[in-house]
Amino acid sequence: MKNFDIQTPGSTIGEALQTKIDLKTKPPGALGKLELLASQIGTIQQTLTPVLNDPTVVVFAGDHGLVQEGITPYPQEVTFQMVMNFLNGGAAINVFAKQNGLEVKVVDAGVNHGFGQTANLLNYKVNKGTRNCLKEAAMTSAELTESIEKGATIVNDLYKSGCNCVAFGEMGIGNTSSASLLMHYFTGIDLATCTGRGTGLDDAGLSKKISILKTVAARHGNLQDWEKIMSAFSGYEIAMMTGAMLQAAENRMVILLDGFIASTAYLAAFKLHPEIKNYIIACHQSDEKGHQLLLEYLNLSPLLNLGMRLGEGTGAAVAFPLVKAAVSFLNEMASFESAGVSNKE
């Protein structure tokens, strides 16, 4: 698997950034989290005048073999149908991205459908859906490596085209189950606590889902190795997102983190390279059970909590104006000296 070289951004610029922020025409700290964001983005880019170039949401789609066990009320066909909806501009992520100036790229990471030469779809398919992890590992070691490296390639292509700010979304019927298992194994948090309603399970459906996931965990046992955990439970879209995040951090890009499933991909990336934390902006707290605990585990403070639980990168797209606001005030807001306003004594 690719060896990522992720560096912690130099800290020496931090003092100059803080001075610039403090000398704006406002009381110190008056812009709250926007000040922290401005400092983080300036540190990532190692400049007092950061810019967000060609911000892009990459939506990874993949299917999951565990759907055969009835863990979701939606049929697997919804994955490819939603991919077509993304490509036709009709999904929530399309609406929010258009509104807030983000481009959308859609990736077939492992959908159980033959798209052929579908216009604007990035074909990085590893396989037509993962295997049923109740019976065997979801993917082979080779498929995991392929997924990670394809994610890295996608981000490198974006980076070379001029993008320095990227968000990641996902689509895959059954992928909250995969995410719950990954969260449980990587954090040690109780599996039932990690498991939510996904696409809207009722109480009986949720109980069945938890029971199935506990059976899956019992079958695989006490895994500790990163590669074995990912191979056992990940989806192709989650693994590809993990590789994409790692490459974005290597490229010193600003990474906009979406909801529960994207956060489990980040969790996997963080377990390999903790330095990635410097490049992450947690955009929102999903209403999916487990996400709040996962954010706390990762020591991330989300910008928004709107009760959203859609995925697709929608939380990142909705939060993006706040990220832009942080950069805008740092670059455009007058200082006490330039405005001729008296500072505090």
Rg for the chain, CA atoms, rounded: 20
Sequence-ordered list of residues with C-beta below 8 angstroms from that of 259, at least 6 positions apart, any chain = 284, 285, 286, 288, 291, 308, 309, 310, 311, 314, 315
Are 138 and 185 in contact by the 8 Å Cβ rule? The answer is no
Q: For residue 329, count CB atoms less than 10 angstroms from its CB and return exposed for 0-12, middle for 13-18, buried for 19 or more.
A: middle
Per-residue H/E/C for 30-54: CCCHHHHHHHHHHHHHCCCCCCCCC
- State the Cα–Cα distance between residues 193 and 269, nearest whole angstrom: 22
- State the Cα–Cα distance between residues 208 and 214, nearest whole angstrom: 10
Q: Based on the residue annotation, tell me whether 103 is a catalytic residue of this protein.
A: no
- Choosing from 103, 170, 312, 332, the catalytic residue is 312
Residues designated as active site: 312
